[in-house]
């Protein structure tokens, strides 16, 4: 005769509980452990991507995360307006290290971060149409550290040279105070074409 209809939340199904007889023996209990209780033990669960499950019957179990994640790793958008991924660490050292860059399999639009051939990459790119997208970096101060060498900021040219170097919101002046350097030579080597506050201008440069 089956036992009463006892509601069960998670782990062991209600059907398993309803099948418990009023009078049961050791052999039935062994089968119940094997068929139901053993499977409900989280130590027997299948570890997911980056998840480790360890433990013993005497010492309990541990579910931990870390190690190497296998690709692809997809972080779904949160239900509320919050960050999908937050990296926390000490105030001394915290960050994300990227040691590779393989774009094979990328589709659609997105921000890509990678490192290959001794060069780091950060770009907004449309892989479907193979075109670059606008990328905005916002900060009160941006520092380009030389890292043991000479700090260089390379601005790539585009079809419109002026638009490649756009200094929006820059402070400009119509006069200056003379200093101690020599006067500008009469004929420069060339002119650097840039855009300042929406106006195309040319800045002369000279031989070294």
User: Residue 185, exposed/middle/buried by CB under 10 A (0-12, 13-18, 19+)?
Assistant: exposed
The predicted model scores a pTM of 0.49
* pLDDT score at 1: 40
Q: How far apart are CA 31 and CA 78, in angstroms?
A: 42
State both tokens at 110: 């997105």
Find residue 193's DSSP bridge partners: 202
Do residues 102 and 82 make contact, with C-beta atoms less than 8 angstroms apart? no
Confidence check: pLDDT of 161 > 60: no
Write the CA distances from 27 to 30, 34, 38, 107, integer angstroms: 5, 11, 15, 57
The DSSP call for residue 2 is B
Confidence check: pLDDT of 143 > 70: yes
User: Residue 114, exposed/middle/buried by CB under 10 A (0-12, 13-18, 19+)?
Assistant: middle
Residue 149's pLDDT band, with cuts at 50, 70 and 90, is low
pLDDT digits (tens, 9 = 90+) for 39-88: 667 677 777 767 777 777 667 777 777 666 676 777 777 777 777 777 77
Q: Which residues contact 7 (CB under 8 A, 6 or more apart)?
A: 14
């Amino acid at each position: 005769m089956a036992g009463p209809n006892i509601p069960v939340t998670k782990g062991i199904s209600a059907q398993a509980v309803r099948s418990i007889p009023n009078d049961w023996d050791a052999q039935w209990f062994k089968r119940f452990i094997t068929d139901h209780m053993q499977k409900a033990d989280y130590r027997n669960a299948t570890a997911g991507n980056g998840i480790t499950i360890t433990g013993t019957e005497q010492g309990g179990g541990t579910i931990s995360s870390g190690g190497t994640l296998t690709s692809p790793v997809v972080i779904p958008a949160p239900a509320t307006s919050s960050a999908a991924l937050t990296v926390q660490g000490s105030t001394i050292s915290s960050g994300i290290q990227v040691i590779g860059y393989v774009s094979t399999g990328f589709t659609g639009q997105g921000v890509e971060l990678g490192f290959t051939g001794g060069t780091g990459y950060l770009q907004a790119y449309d892989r479907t149409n193979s075109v670059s997208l606008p990328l905005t970096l916002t900060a009160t101060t941006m520092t380009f550290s030389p890292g043991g060498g000479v700090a260089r900021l390379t601005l790539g040219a585009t079809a419109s040279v002026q638009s490649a170097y756009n200094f929006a919101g820059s402070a400009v002046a119509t006069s200056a105070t003379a200093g101690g350097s020599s006067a500008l030579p009469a004929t420069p080597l060339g002119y650097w074409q840039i855009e300042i506050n929406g106006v195309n201008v040319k800045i002369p440069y000279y031989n070294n």
